[in-house]
Amino acid sequence: MRQKRSEIYSVELSGTKDIVRTDQGDDKEKYRGLKNNCLERKKKNQEEDFQKELQLDDHKLNNRELEKKYGTNIIMGLSSTRAAELLARDGPNSLTPPKQTPEIVKFLKQMVGGFSILLWVGAFLCWIAYGIQYSSDKSASLNNVYLGSVLVLVVILTGVFAYYQEAKSTNIMSSFNKMIPQQALVIRDSEKKTIPAEQLVVGDIVEVKGGDQIPADIRVLSSQGCRVDNSSLTGESEPQPRSSEFTHENPLETKNICFYSTTCLEASTSPIGTVTGMVINTGDRTIIGHIASLASGVGNEKTPIAIEIEHFVHIVAGVAVSIGILFFIIAVSMKYRVLDSLIFLIGIIVANVPEGLLGTVTVTLSLTAKRMAKKNCLVKNLEAVETLGSTSIICSDKTGTLTQNRMTVAHLWFDNQIFVADTSEDHSNQVFDQSSSTWASLSKIITLCNRAEFKPGQENVPIMKKAVIGDASETALLKFSEVLLGDVMEIRKRNRKVVEIPFNSTNKFQLSIHETDDPHDKRFLMVMKGAPERILEKCSTIMINGEEHPLDKSTAKTFHTAYMELGGLGERVLGFCHLYLPADEFPETYSFDIDAMNFPTSNLCFVGLLSMIDPPRSTVPDAVTKCRSAGIKVIMVTGDHPITAKAIAKSVGIISANSETVEDIAHRLNIPVEQVNQRDAKAAIVTGMELKDMSLEQLDEILANYQEIVFARTSPQQKLIIVEGCQRQDAVVAVTGDGVNDSPALKKADIGIAMGIAGSDAAKNAADMVLLDDNFASIVTGVEEGRLIFDNLKKTIAYTLTKNIAELCPFLIYIIAGLPLPIGTITILFIDLGTDIIPSIALAYEKAESDIMNRKPRHKKKDRLVNKPLAVYSYLHIGLMQALGAFLVYFTVYAQEGFLPHTLINLRVEWENDNVNDLEDHYGQEWTRYQREYLEWTGYTAFFVGILVQQIADLIIRKTRRNSIFQQGLFRNKVIWVGIASQIIIGLILSYGLGSVTALNFTMLRAQYWFVAVPHAILIWVYDEVRKLFIRLYPGSWWDKNMYY
């Protein structure tokens, strides 16, 4: 249901409360305490504050009412005493900084996050076990001390690494603070004074000149040609004129309010724009202050990949602890000593925890981020890399993101025809007829009736990139003329300007009179441009094919048809006309007077129309198409006019060519909008005013039922509401933008993407990713990289988990069958943190499989990083095969030395008895405790080598999940082979280089033992190729659903 609007227009931003007034005393002492006072005014519930609305009616008040409301005088300003009181009450004109998490807290979180807490527990249990052993036997082995120390070292190293790799926390407020002008010109005690902008208070009378930033929210009292650049606040490309008149109920739309941090520009009505106004809001109370509070107040949601990794950690930790405790109980019940059972528990935990995986994930994300940086995508938050790949909805700003952020000539109308102008970045392909005499006249008007000029010293700069002094429309016309006609300044010199009437909102036209460069015609040429309907009123003839014809009803109707068509495209339309002044009435010595208007301004000749638009980037339509094929919905969210927004949306493909809105259907059927069935429309255009009166349920219905949506004339709070609405649809939402107005939504989104060139500091700080080339098309690259990183992380986790079974089974067999321990916990750590690290990272370099951009975005609640097929296949298929292969090497070593497999069963007690030095093997050889211990370390090394060889096969099969290795290319990812080489080299170093180091438990293994597990490695590769073959042959079958991870 639509609610009744209040008399006072509500800006949809959070409200504020007054700061408690401080005691008066020495001014300096009071000022020192102001910032602390600001910090004390925090809201109890910020979420409620977001829903509050700022009641603003100052734009409706006359000067006398303003003076009464703020206790000031427009001529004399505030008194210094009153200003000091207000400054003490309200605090300085600055934005409250956010609380920062201390660096030590960030560091400690890394020390206890993820698997670290399990490893800490394991380390302390090791030291406790050694303490118990040492209390009863002073010569107890130091193995438990070594193991505990290694576990602590692992935690510290991975924690430090994660801390330094962690993305820098965003600091929205710092960028807002940079916007504060250092000084402000204010009237106090009837005198003009320059004071720090921080000391401005409500009721101050300030003066701002062109080029300065507006120092606070001000109500305009007088203006001389002032225009403000609101593009970063509202998304409007055109500079907005400012005057003292109340023109709109909405304070964001009215001309008599200037907003803090926007820029005062020069306008065409005066050499420099100036404005005098009354301060109505300062600091956090300003519109920009509310946006800042929205951005800093919006909590950082966990990224999808962070949720997935947390989910994975919980699963693995739960399995490790559960199995550890279960077998601890079994061991104790089987009469094992509690101390031995405790060591066994530690072994189970270490075997189940992939200690190097989280570090590998971070490195993998970092590598992808670096790869994306080369493609002009700067990733600030590493986890955002994968989030972009999960994105199902992109909410994109229009100005500067989908468009070029510069006004460009789009269409021309002359000789009763509409011509399309080239709106590409270089204007190099103009296809309209330039031989027409009418075009010669129109181009001359465009060139001469223009105050814009190129800044000097840009001779070698391309025309379209040259800096210009002038507003956006005149800049577009200047560059258009320069491309088509050549040196505009030279043309102007040959046609000297005699007199000029600049454009203003009253006349709605710009006029200038020139001498001409025609030596045979010395008449003055009057040229005029402006609002088409106003220009047409001043004309009695129209030029067609170079000849003047009477402006009758038929030609006027043709004009109106063209005007409405161009206006309907969302373009800004200008009319152009001229008049050659009779030489007998206006001789060369004639003195023109703009005040007396001693020259004609009627009965002119209408020449043509020209329309301008901020055109879409050339790469955007293709990018939007690719997003569609990837199952991603693109929604435009802009502060610009609905007609303009709809035109751009159609031109880039956000609204398809055959899609209609409710308004389109109503126009086609010539019926009222209310009679149209909403379900018949495929696209929706929703304005901020409509959104303001919608319930959340109505918004959810629009987001759910329409695939093509444009939100226009939206406020920053509404952008937040839209993002939250998309997130209620269980969508992963990416928000793109470049303005200050985008920063709250950028922060709230699952991933915020800011523009690097045109983007404001606030937008860049709020974002997780910055597009260095401001190219929306780069997002498609990011989506592919994001999907690829998720695929590759799956492969990495599958590769890492596989060996866990091979590492776990020795402890289970050790406790159940009583065999000598096949592998030690320190040896396991050398696998997890030694031989497996580089291969795990190598999978990050794997190229995409063929289907990556033709599938729907993954569902964040259903498509998990670690799912049932991955766990089953890694643990119970390849994992068990690896365990069998490693045991084969283990049994081969023992059999070679005289202990056949059946003789090892239940041998553990005698084997570990330090008092037994004559243990006989199958051949009657006696073994001392030291010899048995050395053979046990040889068994560790053999089991280690068995896992290592099979992990090489495991690494190769993880290159793909569906395609054959031969489809993917065995040597396409050369880093994989670097990983394989690293495994072999580390294994050789541990066995032959460090085999004499007792604490490491490695020995120099005979060469033939390295080849025992090779058949198992080949079997693993063949088995996986068969799995992939059946997945490809029978898509959607039971096999596909259960064997594709």
Catalytic (active-site) positions: 397
- Cα 400 → chain centroid: 15
Distance in angstroms (rounded) separating the CA atoms of residues 388 and 368: 12
Residues 6 or more apart whose CB falls under 8 angstroms from that of 154 comprise 119, 355, 829, 833
Find the length of the chain: 1045
Distance in angstroms (rounded) separating the CA atoms of residues 501 and 527: 11
Distance in angstroms (rounded) separating the CA atoms of residues 702 and 681: 11
- Residue pair 224/273 in contact (Cβ under 8 Å)? The answer is yes
Residues 6 or more apart whose CB falls under 8 angstroms from that of 408 comprise 421, 423, 427, 476, 480, 612, 613, 614, 615
Q: Which residue has the tokens 């929604």?
A: 635
The H-assigned helical ranges of 23-79 are: 27-32, 34-39, 46-51, 63-70
Distance in angstroms (rounded) separating the CA atoms of residues 747 and 742: 9
- Looking at residue 95, the DSSP 8-state letter turns out to be P
User: What's the sign of the alpha-carbon dihedral 472, 649, 647, 256?
Assistant: negative
Distance in angstroms (rounded) separating the CA atoms of residues 932 and 918: 10
Distance in angstroms (rounded) separating the CA atoms of residues 698 and 703: 9
The beta-strand segments (E) located in 867-1002 are 919-920, 926-927
- Residue pair 156/112 in contact (Cβ under 8 Å)? The answer is no
- Cα 292 → chain centroid: 17
- Residue pair 799/955 in contact (Cβ under 8 Å)? The answer is yes
- Residue pair 474/266 in contact (Cβ under 8 Å)? The answer is no
Distance in angstroms (rounded) separating the CA atoms of residues 783 and 66: 52
Task: Determine the longest span between alpha carbons in the chain, in angstroms.
Answer: 135
The beta-strand segments (E) located in 52-145 are 54-55
Neighbouring CB atoms inside 10 A of 474's CB total 21
Neighbouring CB atoms inside 10 A of 901's CB total 13
- Residue pair 646/720 in contact (Cβ under 8 Å)? The answer is no
- Residue pair 734/749 in contact (Cβ under 8 Å)? The answer is yes
SS3 of residue 182 by DSSP = coil
Distance in angstroms (rounded) separating the CA atoms of residues 585 and 434: 33
What does the DSSP assignment read for 221-270? EEEES-EEE-HHHH--SSPEE--SS---SSTTT-TTEE-TT-EEE--TTS
Neighbouring CB atoms inside 10 A of 427's CB total 18
Q: Which residues pair with 500 in a beta bridge?
A: 512
Distance in angstroms (rounded) separating the CA atoms of residues 717 and 294: 8
Distance in angstroms (rounded) separating the CA atoms of residues 658 and 683: 10
- Cα 870 → chain centroid: 30
Dig out the tokens for 145 from the structure: 């001390």
Task: Tell me whether residue 118 is exposed, middle or buried, using C-beta atoms within 10 angstroms of its C-beta: 0 to 12, 13 to 18, 19 or more.
Answer: buried
Alpha carbons within 13 angstroms on the beta-carbon side of residue 11 total 24
Q: Which residues pair with 687 in a beta bridge?
A: 712
SS3 of residue 1035 by DSSP = coil
Neighbouring CB atoms inside 10 A of 966's CB total 9
